[in-house]
Structure 1
Amino acid sequence: MILRRRAVLLVMLLLTAVPLVLAGCTGNPIKRASRPAPAPPKLAITPAPDSKDLPTSVEIGTTVTGGKVTEVVVTDPNGVRVDGALRPDGSGWMPGKALANKQAYTAQVTAKNDAGKKVTQKTNFTTMDKPAKRTVTNLNLQSDQTYGVAMPITVAFDSDIPKDARAGIQRRLLVNTDPPQPGVWAWEANGRQVSYRAPDFWRPGTTISVRAALDGVPMGGGSFGDTDRTGTAKIASNRLFLEIDNATKQMSVFKDDTLVKKIPVSLGKSSTPTSSGKMVIMEKHDSTVFDTTGSPDPYVVTVQNAQRLTWGGEFIHAAPWSVYAQGEANVSHGCTNVSDANAAWLMETTRIGDLVTIKGTEVTLDQGNGWTAWNVGWDEFVKGSALPVPADLKPAPPAPPAPGGPASGGPPAADKPAGPAPAPTSSTGGR
C-alpha cells in the first residue's frame, strides 16, 4: 500500500510539472533592442556655391563632425584636376599653386567615419580678375645653401601689412624641419617683416624647407601677393657665435662653445654709435661700396670682406685705415672695423645665419632693423604672432618670486625690444 501511494504521488508531481515546462517553451520570446545604423559624418565646406571674384589663393574650407575628410577634388572647366593637398589639421585644402584668374572651378569633398559611412558635398566658384596692385615679397632662405644655427626664416614686404591681413598671410607660410623643431612666426610692429624661429637655435645639420604660398593672397589695401616662393636649405654642422664687447674693444669668436679667436675692433664713434643687441649675419660681400651721399657726413668708399648686420648699414668689414684704433678706441661710422687679415679670416669662417652679439654701446638695436628674431626672448617674440600660439610652444608661466625677493624681473637689456623698426633702406653701410 505504501509503495502504491508513493507511485501515485510521483505521477501527480510529474503531471503538475509538465504544464510548467510547456508554459516555459510556448511563452513569448524576449525581444532584444536593435541598434540604430551609424549616421554618416556631418560636413560643411566653403566657399559657398556660385561664389564669385575670389582670390586665386582661395582654399576649400572643411568642417567635419563624426568623421574626417578623405578626399578633395578640385577641377577646372575642362575637368582637369587641380594639384593641391589637405592641411595637416584637416581644416582645408590648399592649392599647390595659385589658381588662374577669372576662372571657374568645381570642388567635391568627401568625408568618412570609422563605420565606413560617407558624405560628399560639391561647390563651385569663380576667381577674380588680375589684381591692379601687387605686394612684392621676399624670402631670405635660398635653396642649396648652408646657414648658421641662428638663421631665422624671414618674409619681407615692400609695404606695411595691416594687422587685419596678417593672420591670413601667416597661414600661408609653411615650414618643415628635419629633425622636427617646431617654431612660431612673429611680425615686426610695422608689418614689413615676419620672422620664424624655434625656442632655441637650430640643431646642427637640420634641413629646413619653406613655402611662402603668397601668390594672390590678400595683403590689405586692395593689394595681393606677387608670387609663391620656396626654399630648402641646410644648417651648418657646427655652431659659430661672435661676441663683441665695447668695454674691451674685442671680438670673441666661439666655435661649438670653444673660443677660437680674439680680434681687436673699432666700433662707432659717439656721434655714430654701433647698435648693441643680438643680430644675424645677413649678407657677405668680397667687395662693396658704401655711399652715404646726402647724409650729414657723406662719403663714398670701397670696402673689402664686408658682412651686413642691419638694414640701416652696420657691417663687419676690413678697415685698414683704422688699425691704429682697433682694440683701443671707436672711430667708425657705426660699423665694426677689423684689420684686412682678420676680415679675410672671418669671411672664410662665418656663414649667413651666424649670431653676432654686441654689448656696451650707447644705443640698442631697433627691432626689425635686420634679422632681429633673437634680439628678444621667446616670451616676447611669440607676442608678435597673428595666430594663436600652439600650446606646446607657449612660454612657461613665470616662477613665483623667492621669499623676500623682488616681485618681478626682466630680461637682460639686449633681450628687450627697442621700439618699432624702420623700413629697409638703400644705405649700404657706414665705415
Structure 2
Amino acid sequence: MRRTLVTVVAMAVITPAALAACGKDAKQDSAWVGTPAASGSASAPAKSEPVTESATVPVSLALTPATGKTGVPLSTEIGVKLAGGKITGVTLKDAKGAAVPGKLRDDGTSWIPGRTLSPNQKYSATVVATAGDGQTTTQTTSFTTMGKPGRKTGTGLYLFDDRTYGVAMPVVVEFSPGVKKADRAAVQRRLFVSTSPAQPGVWSWTSSGTQAYYRGPEFWKPGTTIAVRVAVGGLPTGGGRYGDRDRSATAKIGRSFEMKVDNASKKMTVVQDGKTVKTMPVSLGKKSTPSSSGVMVVMEKKEATVFDTTDTDGDEGYVTDIEFAQRLTWSGQYIHSAPWSVGSQGRRNVSHGCVNVSPANARWLFDKTLIGDPVTVKGTGDKLAYGNGWTPWDLSWAEYIKGSALPVPAALK
C-alpha cells in the first residue's frame, strides 16, 4: 500500500505530481507564497571600473534597448556598455513621468527595474557616467513595451515573509510548465538571493526544470536573514511563454535542530545547536514499502490530518486519522504519531514508509520543529529520489552545483 499527499505548507502555483508512500490527506490546500517584488530588491550595488587619476581617459557609454524599439518584454533591463568611468545615475520613467525604482547588477552591465514594467507603455531611461576627472556623460533611450503576454509560465516561491525556518530551508522556486535547458540561464539570471550574514550560494535545477533550488555549501547559520526576489514577471521563459509575475519574500533562520534516523538501531537522535537533546525509538517502512534514505527537510506540519489511500490502493486502501504529521517528501513520507506501532518502535519496521513515533514523542517533536529542519534517514532499502521533496541537501556540493545553468564562481567550486 503506497500513499500520496498533495497538500503543501507553502504551496506555490502547482504541486509536483505525487509519487507514492505513506499518506495522503483527505483534503487539499494551496496558497501562493511571496508578495510582489519590493523596489530595489534585485541585487547588491554595482561594482564599477576603477577610476584613475588621469583626466584623459574618455568615457564611452551605450544603452539598450535602442531608442524607438517597440515590443520590448516587460522584464527588460537597461543594458549598459561602459568604458572609461563609472555609472553614477540611472533613471527610468514611464509615459506619465513616474520613476521606476531599480538597481544595477553587481557587474554593472545592466540596470534592473524593481518591478515588472507595464504593457503597451512608453519608457524613457537616462544614464549618467562619470570619468576620473569628474566629467560626466549622459545617454538616453526610450522604448515601448509589448502588450500583455498571452501565454504564461506559472511560478511559485516556497517562502513566506516574516517567517522563521530551519537551517536546511532551501529557497525553492517552481515553474509550470518546466523551463527547458536552453532557457534556464536567462531565467536564473533573474533569481536573486541575499543573506545576512553573507553566505554565498548557488542555484541548481531539477532535471524537469520545474524547480530551482538555492543553497550554500553548508546549512544556514542560525539567525540568518534571507531575502529573495524572483524577478520573472514578463520574462521570456521559452516556447513563447512569459513569467507570470515577480515574487519576493524575506524570512529568517532559527536555531539548529536536526533529526537523525538510523534504521540499524531503529532510533531517532535529535541534535539541537550541536548537542543531543533526545533519542526515541522509531518504526520505519516495512520491506514491501521501505522508507527512503537521504537528507530531507520538514516541508509541512499538520497537527491533525487524514491519510486516505483508497484512491490509489483501491480495496486495499484505508482512511486513518493521523496526529502530529510532518511531511518529508512529495510521495508521502512523514514523521507522525503512530500509537498502533508503539510495540514495534525500536524493534522492527511495520509502516508504509513513514517514520512512526509514539504519540508523546510525536507531540514533543511537533512542538519543537520548524519548516526547513533537516531530517536524515539512513540504512533503509530505498534511496531518496532527487526532487521528491525539497532535496538539494541530499546531493554533495560537487554534484549539486552541476545543476546550475550559469557558471559557478570559482570560490564556490
| SS at 1:353 equivalent | coil
- Report the AA paired with residue 359 of structure 2: D
Residue 377 (1) aligns with residue 393 (2)? no
Listed one character per residue, the Cα deviations across residues 373-428 of structure 1 (whole Å, up to 9, x for unaligned) are: 1101111111111111112112xxxxxxxxxxxxxxxxxxxxxxxxxxxxxxxxxx
Residue 72 (1) aligns with residue 90 (2)? yes
Listed one character per residue, the Cα deviations across residues 29-64 of structure 1 (whole Å, up to 9, x for unaligned) are: xxxxxxx96243112221122222121111111121
| Higher relative contact order, structure no. (Cα contacts within 8 Å, ≥ 6 residues apart) | 2
Of structures 1 and 2, the larger Rg is shown by 1
Residue 390 (1) aligns with residue 409 (2)? yes
Aligned-partner Cα distance in 2 for 1:272–1:377: 26
Aligned-partner Cα distance in 1 for 2:371–2:377: 17
Q: Hey, what does 2:283 align to over in structure 1? A: 266
Aligned-partner Cα distance in 2 for 1:285–1:177: 29
8 A Cα contact 1:149 1:239, kept in partner: yes
Aligned-partner Cα distance in 2 for 1:178–1:337: 37
Q: Hey, what does 1:60 align to over in structure 2? A: 78
- Equivalent in 206, 209, 212 of residue 188 of structure 1: 206
Aligned-partner Cα distance in 1 for 2:242–2:309: 34
Q: Hey, what does 1:241 align to over in structure 2? A: 258
Q: Which runs of 5+ in 2 are unaligned?
A: 1-53
- Report the AA paired with residue 273 of structure 2: D
8 A Cα contact 1:39 1:117, kept in partner: no
Residue 86 (1) aligns with residue 112 (2)? no
Q: Hey, what does 1:160 align to over in structure 2? A: 178
Say if 1:217 and 1:37 are closer, same or farther in 2 by CA, change over 3 A. closer
- Report the AA paired with residue 257 of structure 1: G
Q: Hey, what does 1:357 align to over in structure 2? A: 376
Q: Hey, what does 2:191 align to over in structure 1? A: 173
Residue 256 (1) aligns with residue 276 (2)? no
Q: Hey, what does 1:298 align to over in structure 2? A: 317
Identity of aligned residues (%): 54
8 A Cα contact 2:93 2:99, kept in partner: yes
Residue 320 (1) aligns with residue 349 (2)? no
Residue 276 of structure 1, CA deviation: 0.4
- Report the AA paired with residue 372 of structure 2: G
Residue 148 (1) aligns with residue 169 (2)? no
| SS at 2:293 equivalent | strand
Listed one character per residue, the Cα deviations across residues 315-337 of structure 1 (whole Å, up to 9, x for unaligned) are: 10111122122111111111111
Say if 1:74 and 1:130 are closer, same or farther in 2 by CA, change over 3 A. same
8 A Cα contact 1:38 1:117, kept in partner: no
8 A Cα contact 1:147 1:352, kept in partner: yes
Aligned-partner Cα distance in 2 for 1:217–1:291: 40
Residue 181 of structure 1, CA deviation: 0.8
Q: Hey, what does 2:353 align to over in structure 1? A: 334
Residue 104 of structure 1, CA deviation: 1.3
After TM superposition, the score normalised by the length of structure 2 is 0.84
Question: What's the RMSD between the two structures over aligned residues?
Answer: 1.5
Q: Hey, what does 1:277 align to over in structure 2? A: 294
- Report the AA paired with residue 225 of structure 1: G
Q: Hey, what does 2:22 align to over in structure 1? A: none
Aligned-partner Cα distance in 1 for 2:69–2:343: 71
Q: Hey, what does 1:220 align to over in structure 2? A: 238
After TM superposition, the score normalised by the length of structure 1 is 0.80
Aligned-partner Cα distance in 2 for 1:362–1:170: 36
Question: Number of paired residues?
Answer: 358
Q: Hey, what does 2:125 align to over in structure 1? A: 107
Residue 123 (1) aligns with residue 141 (2)? yes
| SS at 1:287 equivalent | strand
Q: Hey, what does 2:327 align to over in structure 1? A: 308
Aligned-partner Cα distance in 1 for 2:288–2:312: 13
8 A Cα contact 2:234 2:245, kept in partner: yes
8 A Cα contact 2:55 2:131, kept in partner: no
Residue 294 of structure 1, CA deviation: 3.0
Residue 42 (1) aligns with residue 60 (2)? yes
Residue 290 of structure 1, CA deviation: 1.9
Residue 139 (1) aligns with residue 157 (2)? yes
8 A Cα contact 2:119 2:147, kept in partner: yes
Listed one character per residue, the Cα deviations across residues 140-187 of structure 1 (whole Å, up to 9, x for unaligned) are: 121111111111111112321111221121111111111111111111
8 A Cα contact 1:133 1:222, kept in partner: yes
Q: Which runs of 5+ in 1 are unaligned?
A: 1-35, 395-431
- Report the AA paired with residue 185 of structure 1: W
| SS at 2:394 equivalent | coil
Residue 254 of structure 1, CA deviation: 0.9
